[in-house]
Structure 1
Amino acid sequence: MQYLVVIRVVSGLLGITFALWSFVQFRKRLIKRYEFFLLAILGTGLFTTAVYPDSINIVAGMMAMDNRQYGRLISLLILSNMLLWLLVISQRTKDSIKSIQFDLLVRRIAMERFFEKDAAKTIKEITVIIPALNEAENLDHLLPRMPESIMGHPLGVLVIDDGSVDDTVDVVKKHGCSVVSNPINRGGGAALRLGYDIAMASGVKFIVTMDADGQHIPGEIERLVAPILDGAIDIVIGSRVLGRREKDSVFRWIGIHVFNVIVNILAGTRITDCSNGFRAFRMDSLKKVLLLQDQFHTAELIIDAAGKGMRIGEAPVTVLRRRSGESKKGKNLSYGLNFSKTILKAWLRK
C-alpha cells in the first residue's frame, strides 16, 4: 500500500501548491476574485482529501452515494469535474472578451489608416461593401458592372481587402473604388464589420453586401434595396431559391435547405436562403444587431435581427458559379460543421 501513501503525499503537495499559486495570482491581480475562490477550493479540497481521505464521505453523503460501491471515488470525480468545468467556462469567457477586444483594436487601426488616406471617395448614401481575399481577377470583372445609382440614389463601393497577397488592392484602385485593408486575414464576417464601421462613420444610410467572387450580379442590387427604400423592410436577404442558381454542389444545395429549416425554427422566420451573402439593410437597423462571427455571418444576422423584432424580407436573385479561383469557405463537411456552430452560437446569445 506504499503507492497509496505516495499518491496522498503528492496530492497534498499539489493541493498546497495550487492554493498558494492562486493566492499569489490574485494578489498580483492576474485572476479575478471568483477565479481565486474556485482555485483555492480546488487546492484546499485536494489537500484535505489527501490528509484525511474520510472527509470525502461528507460529499458522498450529500450525493446519497456514501453506501454505494466506489461511492466516494465517484463523488470525488463529480465534484472535481464540476470545479474544472467552471474554470474552463471562466477561461473561455475571458478568451471571448480578449477576442472581441482584439477585433475592435484591429478594426480601429484599419479605419484610422483608411480615413488618413482620404480613401472614402466612393462611399455614398447607398454603399456596397465587398469583402475580398485574393480576388483580383474577379473584382476586375465585377467592379466595372456596378451601377452608378439605385432609384435616383448614388451608389458607392467599398472593398475590404482581407489580407490579400495578389493585386486585389491595385485592381480596386484602378476602377476608382474605395478600399481598406485588414493587416491580416480575418474572415468575411470580420472584414464586413470593418466595412460597417467605416460606413457608419461616413454617414451611409443603406448597406448592400455582396461577394467578390462574381457569384452575385450588380444589376440585381435594386431588387434588394427597393423594399428598404420604400420603408417596408429593414433587412432584405437575396434568395437563390426564389430566383435562380447555376448548378453547383448537390451537397451544398441540400445543406442550404436543411439549414433554412433550422434557422427558421430557431428565429421564427420564413427565410429560403439563410446562407446568401447578397443582402441589404438600413444602417439604423445594423446598429442594433450584434455580429461576432468571422465567417457564415448571414445566419448570425438573421437570428439576431429576428430576435430583436426587425422586419426581414427576401428578394429573388441569381447566384452564379464562382467566376475564377477557389472558394474560401472550405469543403462541404467543414462548411456544414462551421455553419452549424455559427447558428448555435447566435441562437444561444438570444
Structure 2
Amino acid sequence: MKTLVPSQKSSYDSLKTNRKGHYQSYLFPNLRVTVVIPAYNEESNIGETLAQIPKNISNKMEIIVVDDGSVDKTYEIASQYDINIIRHPKNRGNGAATKTGLNFCKKINCDVVVILDGDGQHDPKYISKFIEPIFKDSIEFVIGNRFTSYYNMNALRKFCSKLMTAFYFLLLRKKISDPTNGYRALSSKVINNIGFESEYSLTQEMLFKIIPK
C-alpha cells in the first residue's frame, strides 16, 4: 500500500503498485483493470468492500481507494490491503473523489476503469460483468442498473430514479434504466479523450459527454 495526498506538485507515478494475486487463471489476463473506490467515513464498509473484490479478474488489476477527507478509520482499514490510497486533506464530495481517481488512471495507462462506491451498495462480485462488454464488444461505457434483483431500493428512491430516467430520456433521447447509478465502467478511450470538469455533478456530466446525441 502506498499513499498520496494530492497537490499540484504530486507525482502519481510514485503510486504504482502491482496487486499480487494467487490465482492461476484470470478472467481477463493482461488486461489493465483499475477499480476506483471513492470513500468518505466508510470505516464500517470499506474493509468488506475491498475483501469482496474478486482476485481472479486480471493479473494486472489495480485498486485505488480515494479517501475523501475521512475523519474516522477509513484510511487505517483500507491501509491493511494491498492497494493504492489517495487522500484528500479535506472532504470535497464524491464527484471530486471520483475525478481524482480518474486522473490517476490517466497516469497509469489502464485499459478499463470500474467505479464503485465504498459504502457497500455496489456488490464487487459484478465487476467482471462491467468489464466484459468493454473487453469483448468494444463498448466504451457501462452503467449499472439497480432495478435488477440484486439491489433492494425503497419505494421513494425507486420512484425518484424512474423520474430521472424519464428526464434523461427527454434530454439525451436514450433510454438509461438507472442514470444516477454510480456503479460504472469506462474504456481507456473515454478516460484519455474526454475531460471531466465537474466535482459536484460528475455522474451527470459523464452521461452528457460520453453518450452520443
Q: Tell me if both proteins adopt one fold, taking TM over 0.5 as the criterion.
A: yes
- Residue 217 (structure 1) aligned to one of 111, 123, 131: 123
| Length, aligned pairs only | 198
Q: Structure 1: which 5+ runs fail to align?
A: 1-105, 310-350
Distance in 2, matches of 1:130 and 1:268, equals 30
SS of equivalent to 1:265 = helix
Q: Report percent identity of matched pairs.
A: 27
The 5 A counterparts of 1:174-213 are 174-213=80-119
SS of equivalent to 2:49 = helix
SS of equivalent to 2:60 = strand
Please give the TM-score of this superposition, normalised by the length of structure 1: 0.53
Per-residue deviation, 1:108: 4.6
Per-residue deviation, 1:242: 4.0
2:8 is aligned with 1:109:
yes
Does structure 1 retain, via aligned residues, the 8 Å contact 2:146–2:153?
A: no
Instruction: Give structure 1 regions of 4+ aligned residues with deviation exceeding 6 angstroms.
Output: none
Q: Deviation per CA, 1:89-139: give whole Å up to 9, x if none.
A: xxxxxxxxxxxxxxxxx9553843x54xx3321478101000011112211
Per-residue deviation, 1:252: 1.8
Per-residue deviation, 1:247: 3.5
Does structure 2 retain, via aligned residues, the 8 Å contact 1:268–1:306?
A: no
Q: Taking structure 1 as reference, are residues 273 and 110 closer, same or farther at Cα in structure 2, changes over 3 Å only?
A: farther
Does structure 2 retain, via aligned residues, the 8 Å contact 1:110–1:183?
A: no
Task: Compare the two structures and name the one with the higher helix fraction.
Answer: 1
Does structure 2 retain, via aligned residues, the 8 Å contact 1:161–1:181?
A: yes
Does structure 2 retain, via aligned residues, the 8 Å contact 1:147–1:155?
A: no
Please give the TM-score of this superposition, normalised by the length of structure 2: 0.84
SS of equivalent to 2:36 = strand
The 5 A counterparts of 1:223-242 are 223-242=129-148
Does structure 1 retain, via aligned residues, the 8 Å contact 2:6–2:86?
A: no
Does structure 2 retain, via aligned residues, the 8 Å contact 1:208–1:280?
A: yes
- Of residues 118-127 and 265-274 in structure 1, the stretch that sits farther from structure 2 once superposed is 118-127
- Residue 15 (structure 2) aligned to one of 119, 122, 138: 119
Q: Structure 2: which 5+ runs fail to align?
A: 20-30
Distance in 2, matches of 1:222 and 1:201, equals 23
Distance in 2, matches of 1:255 and 1:119, equals 40
